[in-house]
Amino acid sequence: MTLGRPDAALTLDGDRLTAAEAALTALHIELGVGSAHDRFRAAFGAISRFSDVAAGASAVVELGYGDDLETVLTGTVTAIERRPWGLVVEGLAATFALSRTRIGRSYVSQSAGDIVSDLVGAAQCSVGEVSSSLSLSAYHADERRSVWSHLCALAQLAGCELSAEGDGSVNFRPPKSGSPDHSFRHGAELVAWDVGPRDTVQTDVSVVPFGAASEQGSEKWHVLLREPDGGSPSDETLVPGALRDRDSAQTFEKALKDARTRRGTGGEVLVGGDAGVRAGDVLTLDDVPGAGSDPLRITSAAHRLGGTSGFYTLMRVEGVAA
């Protein structure tokens, strides 16, 4: 087995340099699912050819070993910090543009996935994997909120994860639950771990529709139910205004239950640097003393590369819902 040499490459404003060429001293990349945008923070020495880079420049970050580099983040430089010893460059993924874009549109009888694809396309961003079983009788995207805010709201209703690919495209899909994307072995890739059960005991939550599309027909989605919860609910009850039929309410209710199931397991996993790890992936830990081999879902991944620390990947994980 040959050990590879960790390396990175950054392309800022169209100028691509390897770690050595750019006088890179440290690189930190954070990937996640949810409302936060992926980000990077890179430190360069005073002699770096990137010393004149400005906020607003395009950015592509690659990471890996030797010449086998993988594009981990594509986005924009958002801040420059000049220090006595050099400079620090910070940037966000291309999804950040959706937080700055406001669009007003109305949708009738469309899936959450179709709405997401249309909003992302209208904002001139790239659409990645988009998949959702939730169908909405009506949804209005108004300019008082950003496109990203609407995507986050739709992801919550549909029980989907919101994330960015390495090329900056937007993913909107159910949390993975199938075969693992990664397998880390005790005594090999796995450096440290802290994983175990978490207390998620709480009352059940019921979700009921706001409209009468199920009771009076789909064309009556705009008619409001006088007592959507039946008048005497025994559990905590949610009545989301965007859900006008019982199928969509059941989709949201199942998403809440699945999220609670996933939270029943949690912790952190540290491995030798692996640029292929992304938030939303599923992993297994093999041959770990005293621990099972149940799959775990990565909710965030931090890649760190430095002269003293080397290259490692720290992941926050949770369980996987059936």
Q: Mean of the pLDDT values across residues 146-162? A: 95
Query: pLDDT by residue (tens digit) across 39-89?
Result: 999 999 999 999 999 999 999 999 999 999 999 999 999 999 999 999 999
Q: Is the CB of residue 137 less than 8 Å from the CB of residue 221?
A: yes
Q: In this structure, are strands 310-318 and 296-306 parallel, antiparallel, or unpaired?
A: antiparallel
| pTM for the full predicted model | 0.89
Weakest mean pLDDT among 62-76, 154-168, 203-217: 203-217
Structure tokens at 269: 């996993």
In single-letter form, the type of residue at position 176 comes to K
User: Which single residue is written with the structure tokens 């923070």?
Assistant: 41
Query: pLDDT by residue (tens digit) across 115-127?
Result: 999 999 999 999 9
Q: How many residues does the chain have?
A: 322
pLDDT class of 217 with cuts at 50, 70, 90: very low
Share of the chain above pLDDT 70, in %: 89
Q: Name which residue leads in pLDDT, 157 or 230.
A: 157
The pLDDT assigned to 204 comes to 75
Distance CA 142, CA 250 (A): 26
pLDDT class of 219 with cuts at 50, 70, 90: low
Domains of the chain: 6-93 (2.30.300.10), 98-173 (3.55.50.10), 182-198+264-318 (2.30.300.10), 205-260 (no CATH)
Query: pLDDT by residue (tens digit) across 54-64?
Result: 999 999 999 99
Distance CA 256, CA 158 (A): 10
Q: Which helix (H) or strand (E) holds 218?
A: none
Tell me the three state secondary structure of residue 253. helix
In single-letter form, the type of residue at position 229 comes to D
Structure tokens at 55: 């906020």
Mean pLDDT of the chain: 88
In b/e form, how buried is each residue of 63-99, taking b as 16+ CB within 10 angstroms? bbbeeebebbbbbbbbebeeeeebbbbbbbbbbbbbb
Measured CA angle at 308 (ends 64, 37), to 5 deg? 50
Instruction: Return the DSSP state at 240.
Output: -
Of 27, 17, 26, 20, residue with least CA distance to 52:
17
Query: pLDDT by residue (tens digit) across 235-288?
Result: 777 777 777 677 888 888 888 888 888 988 899 999 999 999 999 999 999 888
Structure tokens at 51: 């010393």
Distance CA 318, CA 161 (A): 14
